[in-house]
Structures are given as structure tokens and as C-alpha cells.
Amino acid sequence: MRQAITNQPRAVSRVAPAPLETPAPLPPVFACLWIADAPSWALERLEPDLRGRAVIAVDAGRVRGANTLARRAGVRIGDALSRARGLCEAGVCRTLEPGALEGASDEALRQLNALTPWLERTASNTIYASGLSLEDAARVATDLGVRVGISTSRGAALLAALAAREDSVRFEPDQGVFLDTVPLRVLRGAGISPDTLERLGLFGIATLGELRVRITRAQLERQFTVDSARLWSLAHGDDLHPVPVYTPPKCVTARLELESSALEPSELHPALEQLVGEAIVNLGRHLAGALTLQLETEGGRRSSRVHLRDFTCDAKTLLRSAKRALLEAQGGHGVLTLEIVLGDLSKPVPRQDSLFAILERPGVREAVQRVHRRFPARLGRLRITNPRAYLPERRFRFQALTGDERSKRGQANKGNKGDKR
């Protein structure tokens, strides 16, 4: 038999497409910039010619900071200046001026802010950042002379920076694997006390991985009261709070480009005077606490920061500080561009004017007269009774101002005005 052909549709099985999976959010990435020795680093930032040399920061005749080359020669923090010079004859000793460290850190933050808005300085030698690429981080490590660590938590990023080589970047995307191998001696740079690390060694713990496996949080709190919270956070990498947006400090700048290179400082003094005048105009009602002079020279970019003793807007004081900064920063190179930055701005504290100056104002005089009319004999004058007394209440007393005295004073004031005319 011939099979009948029908036009009935055949069922076609179709496989329903799988729903699109929502990709898991990427873990946050933190970058930590760590400075091995902040005082010597600040001197190298303010004097670029010092890079590559043994630098010793001195304060009150004692060593306050020493870079890697000076430490290799045996110089230690707290040594006397004479001992440091004997150990490191080729080293450069510089006095650490007040505000030098803060000025160098502010300058570094300004450079970093051009790469990312998320910055936070948590200590004098630690800066956290977010949004830095590996290329930018490598450039920052070389330009600023710092160690950079990148990982998925703040603690892991800090430990990666501590384990990195000088002027280089260490990227640890898997913080769990990395933390297991971190030796405990690295934690000294993270703020853990040597006594705590010694006690952990007595327990037979050598790495963060062993600490995480063998010790519970309760045991940490019982055994290490001071460092327990910090140890737990570093071992488990649970510090994930985001880096805030950086707000740069207010400053006033004045910049001048020279037509030709100037070598003699006397040739630059008129330019400094012009820049100081422009900066004072831009200050408005603020006062400056620090002056930074930045130079573009034939030998590269150089800068010097002077911390002012008092907040001021005085032209002579600022010009004197600018000339001092010029001598420190120029270094015998021809200058092409000068820029003055007035920082640490502060508004002047309001002060009460003298009584006689206040009464000369029409509004104040009218107010005092209204009070006299409404409350007669309630306003008084100060009468000195014993100027040599120690207690203020025995030096003077207030005496009520009567109506006759007010009229006499008014007539006397009119007479004085007539004499002046």
C-alpha cells in the first residue's frame, strides 16, 4: 500500500536557551603605597639630587631617618650625628625642617590625584588608593620612590607593598594564597609589635596561614589584647571599606615662565617679588603657614618647602622665605619656570577692637545711647583699685555711670571735637 501523505505539521523539539547569568561583581582592588623611611624620603622628594645617595635625616643632633643605603652602612634611628657620620662617611646629612614631611606627602598626593580621585593617607608612610592601573602603579613607584602593593583588601595590599622590592609593584590578585605564605616578620611594618611577633614564634607560628588555621579569634583576644584585632584583620583580609574621594588642601599658586634660562639668584629676585605679590592678592582674607617653591630647571624639576613660624600674609616675610627656598632648590641649575605655592591656609582669628574705636562707629554709638535711655545707671565704667593685686577682682571694680557724668562726658567730647576743628 502506498502510504498516505498528509499535511499535518510535525512537532519540532526546541531547546530553550539558558537564561543569561548575571556576572559576579568584581572584587574591589586596593593599592597601597608604602614608604620605608618617611623622613629621608621627604628629603629626597624636596631635593631630587639626593636620590641614589645615602641620606640621613637629622633632628636635634640625632638621626630621625635613614634610607636603605644609610641603613646598610649601619646607621640606625636614634644614633648620634657623630656616630652616623663615622659609620657612613659618604652619607648626606640634612636637618629635617618642620613641615617637610607633610609638604612632601601633600605633593605626592597632588601627583596621585591626577591619576585617581580615590586617595587616603592613613599614616605618614602609608597611602591607600583605588582605581590605579598596573601601568600607573609602576610609574608611581618609580617616580615617587615608594613600594606599591595591589590586592583585594587593604591588609593584603599593605602586606604586598611590604614584601615588594624598592621602587616596584607587587600584584597579588588571590589574597588567600598570598596571605598563607606571608612570614610574620613582615608584620612589623604593618604596626604589629615585636613582642607579639616573638610570642607567636614561641607558639611555633611562622606565617599568616598558620595563624589563620591554628588560632581562633577568641584565643587571639585572650593572648594578644593590643594587637588581636589587627592580627585577625590582616590574616583574613576582611578590611574592605572603600577608599574615600580625596579633597586636596586649599592653596594659592602663582606661576611665571621666563623667556630665557636664569642662573644667578639675583636675576630671579624680581620674579620672586612679583610672584609673592600675586600670591598675596589671591590669599584674600587667608593667612599662609607654608611656602613651597617649585622650579623647572635645566636639570629637571626641583622644589623646596619652608614652614613659616606664624601664619602670615606679610610680603617681606614671604619674600624672605621664597629667597631661602630658592637657594635650597636651585642647586646651580638654570631656572626656566618658577611657581610659588602658599599652603596650610588659615583664616585670622577675630579680635575684639578697642572700646574707643568701637564707639566711633555710628551704629555702635546709637546702640549704647539706646541702652542708656532704657536702663539708666546700668552701664558702668572700670575703676582701678589695686593694680598690683594678683586676683582680678581685687584690681578693679565697676562703678555705675550716672546721668551727670554722661552729660559731662558728652560736653567734653563736643569740646574736643571743636578743638580738633
How far apart, in whole angstroms, are the C-alpha atoms of residue 324 and residue 1? 116
Q: Distance between CA 312 and CA 290 in Å, rounded?
A: 9
pLDDT at 356: 52
pLDDT digits 0-9 by tens, 371-404: 777 777 666 666 666 665 556 566 666 666 555 5
309 close to 99: Cβ distance less than 8 angstroms: no
Q: Does domain 252-343 have CATH number 3.30.1490.100?
A: yes
Please report how many Cα atoms fall inside a 13 Å half-sphere around the Cα of residue 88, on the Cβ side.
Answer: 24
Q: What's the CATH code, domain 30-236?
A: 3.30.70.270
Residue 69: pLDDT band by 50, 70, 90 thresholds? Answer: very high
Q: How far apart are CA 170 and CA 164, in angstroms?
A: 5
Task: Please give the pLDDT value at position 308.
Answer: 84
Residue by residue, DSSP assigns 365-392 as HHHHHHHHHHSTT--EEEEES-TT-SSG
Retrieve residue 181's grid coordinates. 605564605
Mean pLDDT, rounded, of the chain:
82
- Sign of the C-alpha dihedral, residues 165, 195, 75, 65? positive
Domain boundaries, the chain: 30-236, 252-343, 356-407
Structure-model confidence comparison of residues 28 and 167, the more confident one: 167
Q: How far apart are CA 166 and CA 155, in angstroms?
A: 19
- Alpha-carbon torsion (396, 401, 406, 408), positive or negative: negative
Give 6-56 pLDDT, tens digit per residue.
334 344 334 444 444 544 445 579 999 999 999 999 988 878 788 889 999
* 30-236 and 252-343 share one fold: no
Q: How many helices (H) and strands (E) does the chain have?
A: 16, 14
Each as own residue / partner, the long-range contacts of residues 93-98 (CB below 8 Å, 24 or more positions apart, any chain) are: 93/56, 93/58, 94/43, 94/47, 94/50, 94/55, 94/56, 94/57, 94/58, 95/57, 95/58, 95/59, 96/39, 96/42, 96/43, 96/57, 96/58, 96/59, 96/64, 96/65, 97/305, 97/306, 97/307, 98/307
